Homo-oligomer: A and B are copies of this chain.
Amino acid sequence: MDKRSLRVAVLGCGSVGSQVVRLLQEQATDLEARIGARIELVGVAVRRIDATRDVEVPDGLLTTDADGLVARDDVDLVIEVIGGIEPARSLILSALEHGASVVTANKALLAEDGPTLFEAAEKAGRDLYYEAAVAGAIPILRPLRESLAGDKVTRVLGIVNGTTNFILDKMDSSGAGFAEALEEAQELGYAEADPTADVEGFDAAAKAAILASLAFHTRVTASDVYREGISEVTAADVQSAREMNSVVKLLAICELRAVAGGDDAVAVRVHPAMIPRSHPLASVREAYNAVFVESEAAGQLMFYGPGAGGAPTASAVLGDLVTVARNHLAGTRGVGESAYADRAVLAMGETRTRYHVAIDVDDRAGVLASVALAFAEHDVSIQTVRQEGRGDDAQLVVVSHEATDAQLSATVEHLRGMDNVREVTSVMRVEGETE
């Protein structure tokens, strides 16, 4: 092995960046053996030089001049772990223009403007890797774009946000309501003071866009993703799921869907859904993540692990760094963007889903018939109806077969307007079963 070295700049030194810097130093010998060259850290861009950090950055490497750092012509590899759209985007584009390959963990940027970055990498003849952007340490992007490259992926179901999984798991195990479970998540550090990005599904939607793009070789951006968070999930919903031997999870769902007279289209959505307890995703507890993949030849696969955290995310970043460094040394590139299939993206209303609906009804003869008629009027076929309680407690629980989401939501509106329906107490989509 000759004594080449590669020069690395790190942008950001927060919870992920500090772990990246730590591992670059601690694993230096192994990294050199695995890459075939020494990794030399040449700069760490931060907002404030004197901030408190979890890692000791060698003297003289900290800088507040990120623009200057990525524009240096002696930097081979840039690791971007700042997050957010700007200045991350400009820095990545500048790094690529100046001949560096880039590793990033930036899901928001990739989901909003991935194609701009991919085209810049293509033009520069450099790599842009981003395993850490989805599901933290879990290797899922590389398996999707490489291991399954000879197969046809038909569906990806992911628990890709640890905060919401922690909250829903807590609601399931303790019967707590959303507010109470959120508070516990915040106390334990699983949720931020402003939890909007997590609980309203923005984080999961960004990851869904990235997963769908890779799985279906089609450009999918965050704006293509239908999104509902978990702040409206009630203890009654979770209880209703229990009675179905199911559990409520916030799922990122990416599917290929048949379209009459055309190529299969892509449907991508994030929303809470009931899945049977027998489904492998149902057993994903606390803040863990998991991604369940269905493909024609391989069948059903699942990838499970920590979805966030400084060290796990840094592991994914360094895995990419090793690949990108090897490619850089060999003068080659890894797989770039693959969007050849260029499929249409379905609107949520056209996407076929299944609903679970719990309804408080007047306990009168004929109420079941009139509810069934409401479903039939919207062309929605019923899979099961369960009738519970009597008198003031009378409740119907209906699970539909697949219909378009527009038909299903119109059915729910219809039910809400019916005389003998006192209240629609729970509406939840159902996933993870095949009809």
Binding site for B on A (CB under 8 A): 19, 23, 27, 30-31, 33-34, 131, 137-139, 142-143, 146-152, 217, 280, 283, 295-306, 309, 311-312, 314-323, 326, 330, 332, 335, 338, 340-341
Contact = CB atoms under 8 A, between A and B. Distances in A.
Nearest to A283: B283
A335 B340 contact: no
A306 B315 contact: no
Given A298-B311, A299-B311, A302-B304, 10 more contacts: A149-B322, A150-B318, A150-B321, A298-B305, A298-B316, A299-B312, A300-B305, A300-B306, A301-B304, A303-B304
A295 B309 CA distance: 14
Nearest to A322: B149
Contacts of A305: 298-302
Contact of A151 (B142, B147, B315): B315
A147 B139 contact: yes
B298 A151 contact: no
A138 B301 contact: yes
Contacts of A326: 335
A109 to B, nearest CB: 21
Number of copies: 2
B151 A318 contact: yes
Contact of A150 (B147, B301, B322, B338): B322
Contacts of A318: 149-151, 297
Given A30-B152, A143-B143, A315 B298 contact: yes
A34 B315 contact: no
B319 A217 contact: no
Contacts of A300: 305-306
Contacts of A217: 30, 33-34
Contacts of A19: 297
Max count, chain B CB within 10 A of own CB: residue among A137, A311, A323: A137
Contact of A139 (B148, B297, B322, B341): B148
A305 B149 CA distance: 17
A151 B320 CA distance: 11
Contacts of A314: 150, 297
A312 B297 contact: yes
A189 B243 CA distance: 36
A150 B297 contact: no
A301 B332 contact: no
B137 A319 contact: no
A326 B332 CA distance: 11
Contacts of A322: 146, 149-150
B306 A149 contact: no
A295 B319 contact: no
